[in-house]
Amino acid sequence: MSDPSASGWGSTRKTGPGAAASPKLLLRRLRQALAAPGDGQERLNQIVTLIAQSMAAEVCSVYLMRGQDTLQLSATEGLKSEAVHEARLKIGEGLVGVIARDGRPVVTAKAREHPEFRYLPETGEERYSSFLGVPIQKLGRTLGVLVVQNERPMSYTEEESEALALVAMVIAEMAEAGTLIPRASDDDSSEDREPVHIQGQGAADGVAIGPAYLHEPKLLLPNPIAEDPLHERTRLREALTRLQTDIDAMLDDDQMDATSEHREVLETYRLFANDRGWVRKLEEFIVSGLTAEAAVDAARTEARLKLRTATDPYLRQRFDDMDDIAQRLMRRLILPNDDDRAMPQDGAILVARALGPGEMMDYPRGTLSGVVLEDGAIGSHAAIVARAMEIPLIVQAKGALRGVETGDSMIVNGDQGHVHIRPREDVISAYEEKISLRAQEKASFAALRALPCRSLDACEVKLYINGGLAADLPSLDESGAEGVGLLRTELHFMLNKTMPTREDQSRFYSHILDKAGDRIVNFRTLDIGSDKVLPYMKQPRENNPALGWRAIRVGLDRPVVLRMQLQALLRAASGRPLRIMFPMVAALAEFEKARGMLLEEVERLDMAAPPTDLKIGAMLETPSLAFAQKRFFELADFISIGGNDLAQFFFAADRTNERTAGRYEVTHPAFLSLIRMIVERCDEAGTELSFCGEAAGRPLDALALAAMGIRAFSMRPASVGPVKRALLAADLTAMRIVAEEAEEARKRVRDALIEHCMESLIPI
């Protein structure tokens, strides 16, 4: 145990009057100061004075965020008073800016020698050497920075750093509740309610206008400092008991499917609610002087800081579970009688830090018109569900939660990643016009549904949709597609907390076949790895996961999982046609081995009739497979070109990397030559061929690929109409001639095709 005399708490470091106080005593003094009359500025002034006295510090300062990237000196004890509200730093500028940027404490005995030091002459801080600063944070959102300084070079202890962080957490709660933010200066007066534009990453296309709805409603703590720790501990225990009872009741509900993902989520919540280590951490915060709800908030904030740099998807998934149960517990503590949380009004835009597995599906279809996430990824669970539900989604919208309130008007542009909070009327009008044009365009596509997809030169082209959820199937009728060209079976695995059983998989696949009716469904076997990770299956760390242990490689190396899936697919077919394809096959030997496993399972099949017509195919996603032996093309019943990966590997260019995205071009002559070769080899062997990928859903790219001989495409449901309209208006023979002539003349093929489409009135 550390010696108290080594810390500012109880030490003789302070040179002025006043006895040094313990952290608990400081919190009590803060409570008294906050209860006293006065405005936010007066409270802040009292807080910095109390902290300076308690920590025997010559300087204590609070910097608060002003706007999205500026920190303002808002109160100080020890620095020049005239610098208050005048001294400012940008995020990342100086030691204070670095703390705000990184969300981590900075401690140094020689601040002026620190490489990030920035001198502000108006503050008079040049004579202070020792520096300890901690972020003022609320659930990962930086509200400001709390700093103590001393003139003499010295090392602050770990106890002092932890104590200051505890006080910063209390300040964050007060700031969030609006009781500490000082009155803004004239240039800041309307800043918080002004229109805000955020650039994120579009993860699901579309445009939406609607009222904001916070997935995690802002729960303002009445007072984070406890009067009676024993009473707070009792409140915590009672809230935990009520929460556990609620979870048990939901699990015992007769309508709860024993295999549903909702049940698995609740089982996880029950484990967290009963976790002794977590409860012990909450009680430690209460002993330190916090209320029960503040203790829960402090624990989740601490966990968020520890895991903010974690790259392990499993750890991040566990944190999402803990974060959600903490939110539920806080709601029990702050609003004990508020049992039913109202759903948002129809057309709302959901705003959240992140969404865990299945959470989007808790909102009834039609309730949400858009989703904005501060975290998240293009390949996340939320993005998968949003695309299936045709809801525009933006991820990595940093700062979206800052200042937004439920009911604020919002615009989401999933095509370009734009988020507008409280937009001006002219911006709303522009987007309303865009939405209206889209609606008119969609109505025109509906008129094309019943028409055969035949080009002007009589080339028949089949259009299919990509899917992965039961929610995708209604799009078959809505789009007029001829079937499901790619059924991503891994989505069913990704949206479950545990490995789906063979019976669970079989029910899901059978449901898909039932909904599809007589239309074809190409089931792709489990394609995990790279950016698709199962929360319950540990994935090895790889320097280049896109080229690593993924897709069919995982299936062949872990045959138990692949065989179980093949058995489930065969049982689901039960006397119906079945089409199965293997992902990312790179060589004939891999396809032969996987195909052999499937045929073995057919021979072993019991308790179900075999498929009436079994077709076995492969995804051609690697250049090596395009040059495979002739036997591969003869052995495969059908081949689907996985355009995203094939182009990525062909050009050695990551399509998600801004620096290399320009090198990733489907209409490049070299890539079109590769496509022509694959078409010729499939024609020679009499093998079905289709193209699946982002390019399939872009009219110009689809026309170029069709001109090279592709006669089947699989795409997002929303793309079927635009692609079909373009194909109906095009002469594919003429387009091939345009591409070949442009290549011979060393002109950019894409530009030549665009010019031809404009001249021929082909809508692209």
Structure tokens at 350: 């959901």
SS3 assignment, position 64? strand
How far does CA 173 lie from the centroid of its chain?
A: 26
SS3 assignment, position 11? coil
- What is the β-pairing status of strands 483-488 and 712-715? unpaired
Residues 60, 85, 215, 381: which is the catalytic one? Answer: 381
**Residue 68 CB partners (closer than 8 Å, separation 6+):** 196, 399, 402
**Computed from CA positions of residues 349, 383, 428, 441, in that sequence, does the dihedral angle turn out positive or negative?**
negative
Residues 492, 692, 756, 757: which is the catalytic one? Answer: 692
**Residue 568 CB partners (closer than 8 Å, separation 6+):** 502, 503, 505, 506, 509
- What is the β-pairing status of strands 201-204 and 141-150? unpaired
Q: CA triplet 750, 655, 587: central angle to 5 degrees? A: 100
**Residue 599 CB partners (closer than 8 Å, separation 6+):** none
Contact of 232 with 226, CB cutoff 8 Å: yes
* Rounded CA separation 357/114 (Å): 43
Which of 210, 198, 209 has its CA nearest to residue 402? Answer: 198
Side chain identity, residue 95: L
Distances in Å between the Cα of 365 and the Cα atoms of 207, 208, 388, 515, 652 are 17, 15, 11, 18, 40
Q: What's the burial of 686, exposed, middle or buried (CB within 10 Å: 0-12/13-18/19+)?
A: exposed
Buried b (16+ CB within 10 A) or exposed e, 500-513: beeebbbbbbbebb
**Residue 377 CB partners (closer than 8 Å, separation 6+):** 203, 383, 395, 396, 531
- What is the β-pairing status of strands 483-488 and 393-395? unpaired
> Is 692 one of the catalytic residues?
yes
Adjacent-strand bridge partners of 502: none
Q: Write out the DSSP string of 420-446.
A: EES--HHHHHHHHHHHHHHHHHHHHHH
Which of 620, 557, 622 has its CA nearest to residue 594? Answer: 557
Contact of 480 with 724, CB cutoff 8 Å: yes
Side chain identity, residue 652: A
How far does CA 399 lie from the centroid of its chain?
A: 14
* Rounded CA separation 56/151 (Å): 12
DSSP code, position 161: H
Start-to-end C-alpha separation, the chain: 72
Structure tokens at 413: 């542009």
**Computed from CA positions of residues 526, 527, 529, 531, in that sequence, does the dihedral angle turn out positive or negative?**
negative
Contact of 470 with 489, CB cutoff 8 Å: no
Contact of 419 with 398, CB cutoff 8 Å: no
Contact of 266 with 250, CB cutoff 8 Å: yes
SS3 assignment, position 250? helix
* Rounded CA separation 591/597 (Å): 10
Which of 703, 666, 700, 690 has its CA nearest to residue 486? Answer: 690
Q: What's the burial of 759, exposed, middle or buried (CB within 10 Å: 0-12/13-18/19+)?
A: exposed
* Rounded CA separation 418/436 (Å): 18
Which of 516, 496, 518, 514 has its CA nearest to residue 505? Answer: 496
Active site residues: 381, 692
